[in-house]
Each structure stands twice: as C-alpha cells, then as structure tokens.
Structure 1
Amino acid sequence: MDVVTLCLFLLLAVVISGILSRLLPSALPRPLVQIALGAVIGTAAGTRVELDPELFFLLLVPPLLFLDGWRIPKDELFRDGKAVLGLALGLVFLTVLGLGLFVHWLIPAMPLAVSFALAAVVSPTDPIAVGAVAQKVPIPKRMMHILEGESLLNDASGLVCLRFAIAAALSGTFSLATAAGTFVWMALAGVAIGGAVTWLAISGKALFARHFGDDQGSSILVSLLLPFGAYLAAEHLHASGVLAAAAAGIAMTFAGSGAAVGASTRIRQRAVWDMLQFTLNGVIFVLLGEQLPDLLIGARAAVAGTGHEGTGWLAVYVIAIVAMLAALRFGWVWLSLQLTLFRARRRGGADTSSPPRRIIGAMSVAGARGAITLAAALTLPLTLSDGTPFPARDLVILLASGVILASLVIASIGLPLLLRGLRLPVDEGAAGERDHARIVTAKAAIAEIERVQHDLAANSDEADRYTDIAARLMAQYRERIESLGADEERRIEEDRDRRIDRELRLAAIRAERQSLFAMAERREIGLTLAEQLGRELDLSDARLTRLGS
C-alpha cells in the first residue's frame, strides 16, 4: 500500500510540474522542475520505488519511441534523411567509441565495457527535452525536424549499442564482426517486424470497422498496445525491440491513413496519446528525482571506487563528459556541413552558402539528453551473470543524471542566446503546397456536393431546396479557390483579413463558451447539453487556434 501511495504522489508531482513550469520563468525547463519535485518526494517519503530494470524499460520506452515515430513529419524526415542518418548513426557510433575510451581514461576503475555502456546511455538526444527548453524560442522548423528525426533513430541505435555493451560486460568478451552482423540483423528485422505488426493490426481493425462499425474504445486500445506488441515480437525473435517500436510508429501514419476510423476517434486517440506522453516523460524525470537521495548517499562509495575522495569529483566527471559530448557533436555537425557543401559545389548547386554560424552552434547546443537516457541508465542490470553486483552501476546512473541536468541547463541558456533575433527565411514551399491541397480538396468537395445533390433531389419532392443549399455550399468552396488563386498583393490582404476574421471568431467562440457554462451554472440549461455544445466549441477553438499557429 505504501508503494501504491508513493506512485500516486509521483503522478501528482507530474501534474504539479505542468502547473509550475507555466508559473516559473520560461528559462527553467519542465524536466528540471520534475526532478526537483521527485527529489522532494524521495527525501520526505519513508519508502522507495523499487525499479525492475526490464519492467521499467518495457513499460516506458516502447510507447515513447512509438509516439516519436508516429508524430515525426515524414516528408521532412525523408527529405533530410542523410543529415538525420549521419547524426543518428554516425554520431552515435563516434560518441560510443570516443566517449567510451575517454571515460575509461578519465575513470580507470570503470571497466571498459561499462564505459562504453555509459557512452551508449548518454548518446541519444531528446526532442521533448529540447522542446521543453525552447518553448519561448523560435527554433527553425527544418532544424527542429532534423532534431526530431535524429532523436527517433539515435534512441534506437544508442539503445542497441547499450545492449552490446551490457552483453560484453556480462560475458567479458566482445567480437566486432559478430556485433556488426548481429546489428544488421537486429536493425533490419526490427524495422520489418514493427512495420508488419502495425499493418496487420490497423488493417484488421479497419476491416472490422467497415463491416461492423467503429468502436472508439477498442481503436484507441489497439493503438496503445501496438508499441508493446511490436517490441515483444521483435525481442522474441532476437531483433531490436526499440527499432520495432519506432518503425511501428512510423508505419502508423501510412497504415492508418485509409482506416475506417471516425473523426471523433482520431481526436480522442490524439488526446489519449498526448496525456500518455506527458505522463510517461514526467514519471521518468520524477523517478530520477525520487531516486536521487539514495544515489547521492552511495555517491561517496562510488567515487571512492574510482580512486578519488569526495563527491566533488562527480561534478568534475560530469563536466568533463559534457565537454567531450559537446566537442564530438560540434565537430560532427561542422564536418557534415562542410561535406554537404562540398558535394553541392561539385554538383553545381544553386545555393551553396553556409548557414549562419549560430545555427551550427544551436544544432550543437540542442543535443539535450532526456527521458530515454534516464530510462536506459536505470535499466542497467543489477548483477552480473555470477551474481556479483554490476560494476559501477550507481556511478553510471549518477553520471548519466548529471549529463541530463547539465545538458538541459546548457540548452536552456544557450538556445535563447543563439536563436534570439535570428531572421529566418519564409518557407514559401510549404505555404504553396498547403494552398494547392486546399484548392484540390475544394474542387473535390464541389464535385461531391453536385453528385449528392442530384441523387437526393431525384428521390425527393423538394428538389429546389436541395439545389439552393448545394449552391450555397459550393459558393463557399469556390470562394476558397478564388482566394487561394489570387495574385500576391490580394493574397496578402486576404491573409490579413483571414487573420482578423480568425481572431474575431475565436473571441466569439470563447464568449459563447463562457455564456454557455454561465447558463449551466444558473441551471437555465442542463449540464449534459452544456458539455455537448462545449465540445463543439472546443473543436472549433482548437481548429482556429491551430490555423493561427
């Protein structure tokens, strides 16, 4: 009962962190607030949450990777695939090798395999941590897309490297040729299994929905079970479960695009996953804070095992590791950019100018570590194969925690400084593509209205009414086509008019909502009707707010 109560307090801390992060200065990212709240709970509570590494990993990591894969912009991911793969694979392998050797040199008492495990733990970046840091900072869209793609893939590659490092620590042997072959199998099989699980589940659910109707609860539950199904299926076949979870999320976009799922189901599904993402990320950071008191108690013994005295050496280790990570990342980003520009010049590219140096610096600073790093650190085995304690496990978790905290602080300070006042080019291509899509869909809507109107009018005595209403609807769509096809000056004016119209509509909708619930409080209307009408207003509010973002 005490553990259950403690877990409920941890969830409450996640809720409170969301409130405090809005009240506190924007430079203080939410993960730091969550860690602080967890530390308060850990200090005050008389019991501790006992973490089973395998269970902890299974419950928290697959859904986060799945959601990253599902929500990442696919066109941008494929467009910047080379840059993403360079950061997600090349930089991860360089980090594991370079940082692993550096840590072993810095802390000779830490076995080489454990040093590589620490390097693998801190190699993945976290876009959610960056997003939390940069809520008030206008990060360039393309840069954010590259960071999201990098995080999605380097989570998987870093965790696969961690698996090899742990295996080497447990067995005491390591073969590069065997590891390379195993990595290829784990990667290819993991991606294939993740995609297959999603396609089979979504296709089967869509087939059922077309014949028997859409059941919202089961549709949402299927989406929640997919990352665990893909992860467990891949692990059962000795493939990469983390890659399977990420691939399942990517496949969700394509497999679910034609599924017979209603709009209300999709809205609720997004809401459930938003809540789950907020909860899981928050729980991980609060758990770190809750574990910190015990970890700090063991810090003296962990540092003493390295041949040094005093917990101050922990700060020295963390600073040295963060500096090495920053140097590796900056060097890789700069070298990758130079190679890209060199290839573009050889091909005679039109735009071979180097981006602002502040963008390169921001790409380096934005490599904040977060939930996946912490989850990976906490999943290190407790004992070796012979039952002896895993060497330097507490020290690895402490150093990983220090790297997370330091990277969040550096990003929260560095990103605003590097990106403040930066003039970014307008993405005209995206606006044109959006306008083209709206014109095409408007034409399709007009054609469908004409067809349905003729069908309905043929079987009714009120043909004139169908004709009038259909003409009014088609006129609205034709107005959209004309406005989107207007010349540039007229489009600017109409954009201004649409912005004013959106602001007025938002004000009107919010006044409607306030008046609606005021009537409900005065018992002039029933609460059920107020909630129904309120949901309609919320959808309109969300749509207009999204159009203005």
Structure 2
Amino acid sequence: MHTIEVVLAMLVAVVASGYLVRILPFSLPLPLVQIGLGALIAGVFNRGHALEPDMFFLLFLPPLLFLDGWRIPKQGLFRDKGAILELAFGLVVFTVLGAGLLIHWMIPSMPLAVAFALAAIISPTDPVAVSAIASRAPIPKRLMHILEGESLLNDASGLVCFRFAVAAVMTGTFSLAQASLTFLWVALAGLVIGVAVTWGVSTFQRWLWRSFGEEPGAALLVNLLIPFAAYLLAEELHASGILAAVAAGVTMSYVELTGRISGSMRVQRNAVWNMVQFSFNGIIFVLLGEQLPGIVERAIQTMSATEHHSAWWLVVYVLAINAVLVALRLVWVWLSLRWNLLRARMRGEKETSTSWRVVLAMSVAGVRGAITLAGVLTLPLMIPGGEPFPARDLVIFLAAAVILVSLVGASLMLPRLLKGLELPKDDDSRREEDLARRSSSKAALAAVEKARQDLVQGQSTTAVQLLNDAAARVSLLYQRNLEKGQGPDEDPEKVRRMEQAYRSLRTAGLNAEREELFRLTRRGQVSDEIARKLIRNLDLLETRQRD
C-alpha cells in the first residue's frame, strides 16, 4: 500500500510542478521544482522509495528515447550531422577518459573502472532540461537542433560506455579488442532491431486497419508498446536496447510520412505522448528529489572509506567534476569549430565567424538530467563475489549532484549568454513553410474542383447550385493561402501587423463561439454530445492558427 501511495504522490507532484513554475514570482527551471517536491515527499513519507534498477531502466528509458528519436527534426539532424556526431561520440569518449581519470585521481579509493562508469553516465545531456531553463531566453533554433541531435545519440553512446565500465567492475577484466567487437554487435543489431520492430508492427497494423477497420484505442496502445518491444527484443538478443528504442523512434517518424494515419489519430496520439513525456520526465526528477536525502546520508557514511573524512569534501568533488565537464566540453566545442572552419576553407567556402558566446553557451548547455539519473540507479547492488558494488552510494550521489549543479549553473548563465544574441536568420524554414502552404493549397483547390464536378453530375439545378456554393466557400479558404504571400516590395512589418490583427480577431471570434456553445448547452438547447464535437473543432482551429 505504501508503494501505491508514493506513486500517487509523485504523480500529484508532477502535476503541481507544472503550475508552480507559473505561479512562483521568480523563475525556476521545471526540473528543479520537481526535485524540490520530491524531497518534500521524502520528508512526508519518512523515507525514499527504491525501485528495482532493471525495472526502473525498462519503465522510463525506452519511451523517452523513442520519443526523442521520433520528434527530432530530421532535416536539422542531417544538415548538422558532422557537429552532432562529433559531440555525440567524440565528446563522450573524451569526457569518459578525462573525467574518469580526474575522479580516480581525486578519490583513489574508487576503482578506475567505477570512475569511468561515473564519467560515462554523466556524459549524456538532457535537452528537456535545457529547454526548460532557456524558456525565458529561447535557444536559437539551429543551436537547439544540434543539442537535440547530440542528446539523441549521446544517450546511447554514454549508456553503452557505462555498460562496458560496469561489466569491467563485475568481471574484473577488460579487453579492448573484445569490447570493440561487442560494441559493433550491440550497436548494429540494436539499430536493425529497432527499425525492424517499428516497420513490422506498422505494416501489420495497416493490414489490420484495411481488413477490419481502425480501432483508435488499440492503435494508441500499440504505439505506446513499440519502444518496449524494441528494447526487450534487443536486450534478449544481447544487443543495445537503448539504440533499438532510438532507432524505433526515428523509423516511426518516417512511417508517419506515409500519411496512412487519420488526422484524428495523430491528434490523439500527440496528446497521449505529450502526457507520457511530461509525466515520465517529471517522475524521474521527483524520484531524484525523493531519494536525495537518503543519497546524501549514505554518501556521507561512505566518506569514512576515503582519505578525506570530512563531508565537506563531497562539495569539493561535485564542484570539481562539474568544472571539468564544462572545461572538457568547451575545449571539444572549440576544437570542433576550428576543424569545421578548416574544412570549409579547404572546400573554398566562405568562412563564417562564430561568437564566443555561442561557444560558451554550447558548453554551459551540457545539462545532465533524466538519462543520467535513470542510468546510475541501475548500478548493481552486489558484485559476483557477494560484496557490495564499490562506492555505489558515492557514485549515485555524485551523479545526482552533477544534475543539480548543472541545472542551477545553466539556469543562471544560459539566459544571460543568450540574451541579445543575434545569429544569422534562418530563411529556409520560412520559404519551406510558404512553399508547403502554396503547394498544398493548389492541390486542395484542384481536388475540390474535381470533387465538385463528380458530385454535380446528374443532380438537379437546385442541388448543383448548393454544391457550387459549398465548393466556392471551401476554395476561398485555400485562395487566401495563395494570395497572402508577401510581395517583393511589401513592407515586412506591415505584413506582420496584418497577421497579428487577423489572428487576434479570429481568436476573439473563436472564443465567442465557444462561450455561446457553452451557454446553449447549459440551457439545454444543444446536447452535450453535439457541443463537445463543435468545441473540439474550434479548439483544433485555434491550435492550427497558433502554429
């Protein structure tokens, strides 16, 4: 019963955190609020709630990694693939070696393999935490795409390195040749399994829809189960479940491009996944706060095994680790930038200067979050000989403290670094949106005219007139998309004000329609079923115009 109460309390804390960040008079990142609420829960229930590590890993990581792979902008991912791969793989190895050696030097009682495991698990970054911090000073779109792409891949590379380091602790041996071969199998098989699961399930599901009709509830449930299926199958075949979940998500984004899913299904699925993302990320940070008092207490107890008996050395360890993480990231970003500029010069391309604030912002934006916490909690309790896992409590404390310090540091520095920062405007997205609107409107006009011609055949004069009027009203909506394009001599500011005025007036009209529907429903003049249907249509229209 106690477990159920704690889970319900965590869910309430996640809900409350979403409102507290809006109510509080001062700005705080959402993850910090959730950590504070988790600590409050631990105080009320007198102890933290411990989950089985493997169960914790299975429950939270697959859907989050799947969603990251699904939603990341693929165009930005491929455009900046060089920088992303350098950060996602090169920086991870650089961090594992540099931070691991520093940790072992600071804490000699911590075995080198354990130090490398700690360095590996604190190497992945968390874009959700970064976006929460940068809400008051939004990160430039292209910079955010690079951070998202890095996070998508370094989750996998960091966790794979973590698994190898933990295996070295458990077995006491490490072979670079064997590890390299194992890594190839783990990575390639994981990717193939993720792609195969998503493609196979989607193909089978479309066959079911064609044969027996679409069942939205079952389809949503299948979509939620895909990342777990990919993860479990990969782990069963001794491949990377992490990479399988990521590959499954990337594949789902391409399956969605086939357009074989109804619009209502997409709306429902998007709402469900938004809830899953908010809940799971929130629960992980609430769990961190809930376990924080116990983690700190156990870490202080383990200090007796080190050369430094004072608990204040924990603060030194945490600050030193965070400082070296930022320094390593700064060095790698600078070297990566210089290398890319050199390659551009060799290709004869025009060099573009990058502000030092962008380089520093990239370094500070390496915020650790849910993946780090989820991974470190999977450390085994015992090694095969029956002895406790070396420095397990200290490793968990240091990882949790790195999350906290990186969140606080980024929340203080990142908005200041990004404030007033001017980057080259990305006109490609605007041109692509205009092209999409105009092309889709032309296609829609042609389809409307063809449908009108098919419908008027054999109809009476009155019916033909009604169909023509209906077609004219529908066509007018698409003609606006073709006519509202900005001319070469038109004032951009005037166009912007016109769009704002249109949206403002349209919003006022939608609000009035909703209020009238509510009034008619309260008076019993309209059934609640009809009202819900019409109000949903208005909500979708409002959402579309905001986009």
- TM band (smaller chain): over 0.9
In 2, Cα distance between equivalents of 1:520 and 1:477: 32
Q: Please state how far the C-alpha of 1:123 moved relative to its aligned partner.
A: 0.3
Hey, what does 1:450 align to over in structure 2? 449
* Secondary structure of 2:41 counterpart: helix
Q: Please state how far the C-alpha of 1:530 moved relative to its aligned partner.
A: 3.2
Hey, what does 1:121 align to over in structure 2? 121
Hey, what does 1:536 align to over in structure 2? 537
What does 1:487-506 align with in structure 2 at a 5 Å threshold? 487-489=488-490, 493-506=494-507
Q: Aligned residues: percent identity?
A: 53
Q: Please state how far the C-alpha of 1:378 moved relative to its aligned partner.
A: 0.7
In 2, Cα distance between equivalents of 1:490 and 1:402: 52
Q: Please state how far the C-alpha of 1:416 moved relative to its aligned partner.
A: 0.9
CA contact (8 A) 2:13 2:38 kept: yes
Q: Which moved more, 1:493-502 or 1:523-532?
A: 523-532
Hey, what does 2:108 align to over in structure 1? 108
Name the CA shift for 1:113/1:145 in 2 (closer, same or farther; >3 Å). Answer: same
In 1, Cα distance between equivalents of 2:469 and 2:342: 62
Q: Please state how far the C-alpha of 1:273 moved relative to its aligned partner.
A: 0.5
Q: Please state how far the C-alpha of 1:265 moved relative to its aligned partner.
A: 1.1
Hey, what does 2:9 align to over in structure 1? 9
In 1, Cα distance between equivalents of 2:489 and 2:541: 28
Find out whether 1:373 has 2:375 as its counterpart.
Answer: no
Name the CA shift for 1:45/1:485 in 2 (closer, same or farther; >3 Å). Answer: closer
Find out whether 1:340 has 2:360 as its counterpart.
Answer: no
> Where do 5+ consecutive residues of structure 1 fail to align?
none
Name the CA shift for 1:259/1:199 in 2 (closer, same or farther; >3 Å). Answer: farther
In 1, Cα distance between equivalents of 2:128 and 2:104: 30
What does 1:211-250 align with in structure 2 at a 5 Å threshold? 211-250=211-250
CA contact (8 A) 1:113 1:169 kept: yes
Q: Please state how far the C-alpha of 1:459 moved relative to its aligned partner.
A: 3.9
> In structure 2, what residue type is equivalent to 1:535?
R
CA contact (8 A) 1:484 1:491 kept: no
What does 1:207-356 align with in structure 2 at a 5 Å threshold? 207-258=207-258, 260-350=260-350, 352-356=351-355
In 1, Cα distance between equivalents of 2:536 and 2:366: 39
In 2, Cα distance between equivalents of 1:353 and 1:376: 39
Q: Which moved more, 1:141-150 or 1:418-427?
A: 418-427
Hey, what does 1:545 align to over in structure 2? 546
Q: Which moved more, 1:305-314 or 1:489-498?
A: 489-498
CA contact (8 A) 1:214 1:262 kept: no
What does 1:40-79 align with in structure 2 at a 5 Å threshold? 40-79=40-79
Q: Please state how far the C-alpha of 1:490 moved relative to its aligned partner.
A: 6.2
Hey, what does 2:483 align to over in structure 1? 482
In 2, Cα distance between equivalents of 1:411 and 1:301: 30
> In structure 1, what residue type is equivalent to 2:332?
W
CA contact (8 A) 1:26 1:135 kept: no
* Secondary structure of 1:108 counterpart: coil
In 1, Cα distance between equivalents of 2:450 and 2:385: 74
**TM-score, structure 2 normalization:** 0.96
In 2, Cα distance between equivalents of 1:514 and 1:136: 32
CA contact (8 A) 2:131 2:139 kept: no
Hey, what does 1:395 align to over in structure 2? 394
> In structure 2, what residue type is equivalent to 1:173?
T
Per-residue CA deviation, residues 38-92 of structure 1 (Å, 9 max, x unaligned), is: 1111122145423100000000001000000011001110111111100000000
> In structure 2, what residue type is equivalent to 1:375?
A
Per-residue CA deviation, residues 385-437 of structure 1 (Å, 9 max, x unaligned), is: 12211111110010001100000011101111101111233221111111111
CA contact (8 A) 1:53 1:378 kept: yes
Hey, what does 1:513 align to over in structure 2? 514
Q: Which moved more, 1:461-470 or 1:483-492?
A: 483-492
Hey, what does 1:179 align to over in structure 2? 179
Q: Please state how far the C-alpha of 1:535 moved relative to its aligned partner.
A: 1.6
> In structure 2, what residue type is equivalent to 1:388?
E
Q: Please state how far the C-alpha of 1:267 moved relative to its aligned partner.
A: 0.6
Name the CA shift for 1:441/1:523 in 2 (closer, same or farther; >3 Å). Answer: same
Root-mean-square deviation (Å): 1.6
Q: Please state how far the C-alpha of 1:518 moved relative to its aligned partner.
A: 4.3
In 2, Cα distance between equivalents of 1:259 and 1:287: 39
Name the CA shift for 1:464/1:525 in 2 (closer, same or farther; >3 Å). Answer: closer
CA contact (8 A) 1:26 1:136 kept: no
CA contact (8 A) 2:486 2:495 kept: no
In 1, Cα distance between equivalents of 2:19 and 2:483: 45
CA contact (8 A) 1:10 1:38 kept: yes
In 2, Cα distance between equivalents of 1:368 and 1:47: 28
* Secondary structure of 2:490 counterpart: helix
CA contact (8 A) 1:3 1:48 kept: no
In 2, Cα distance between equivalents of 1:122 and 1:394: 15
Q: Which moved more, 1:243-252 or 1:519-528?
A: 519-528
Q: Please state how far the C-alpha of 1:310 moved relative to its aligned partner.
A: 2.2
CA contact (8 A) 2:47 2:294 kept: no
In 2, Cα distance between equivalents of 1:78 and 1:95: 24
Name the CA shift for 1:212/1:493 in 2 (closer, same or farther; >3 Å). Answer: farther
> In structure 1, what residue type is equivalent to 2:422?
R
In 1, Cα distance between equivalents of 2:518 and 2:116: 59
In 1, Cα distance between equivalents of 2:543 and 2:20: 24
Name the CA shift for 1:32/1:472 in 2 (closer, same or farther; >3 Å). Answer: closer
Q: Which moved more, 1:482-491 or 1:304-313?
A: 482-491
In 2, Cα distance between equivalents of 1:2 and 1:521: 42
In 2, Cα distance between equivalents of 1:485 and 1:475: 18
Q: Which moved more, 1:460-469 or 1:211-220?
A: 460-469
* Secondary structure of 1:297 counterpart: helix
Q: Which moved more, 1:211-220 or 1:518-527?
A: 518-527
Paired positions, count: 545
Q: Please state how far the C-alpha of 1:485 moved relative to its aligned partner.
A: 6.7
In 2, Cα distance between equivalents of 1:24 and 1:256: 39
Q: Please state how far the C-alpha of 1:122 moved relative to its aligned partner.
A: 0.3
Per-residue CA deviation, residues 101-141 of structure 1 (Å, 9 max, x unaligned), is: 11101100001110011001100000000011111112100
> In structure 2, what residue type is equivalent to 1:93?
V
In 2, Cα distance between equivalents of 1:203 and 1:420: 47
Per-residue CA deviation, residues 459-514 of structure 1 (Å, 9 max, x unaligned), is: 42233332343244334423422332733416664443222101111122123323
CA contact (8 A) 2:37 2:286 kept: yes
In 1, Cα distance between equivalents of 2:311 and 2:17: 29
Name the CA shift for 1:58/1:505 in 2 (closer, same or farther; >3 Å). Answer: same
In 2, Cα distance between equivalents of 1:322 and 1:47: 28
In 2, Cα distance between equivalents of 1:489 and 1:300: 67
In 2, Cα distance between equivalents of 1:43 and 1:480: 57
* Secondary structure of 1:489 counterpart: coil
In 2, Cα distance between equivalents of 1:319 and 1:409: 12
In 2, Cα distance between equivalents of 1:372 and 1:520: 47
> In structure 1, what residue type is equivalent to 2:530?
L
> In structure 1, what residue type is equivalent to 2:345?
R
CA contact (8 A) 2:21 2:27 kept: no
Hey, what does 1:416 align to over in structure 2? 415
CA contact (8 A) 1:302 1:395 kept: yes
In 2, Cα distance between equivalents of 1:499 and 1:459: 45
In 2, Cα distance between equivalents of 1:354 and 1:372: 34
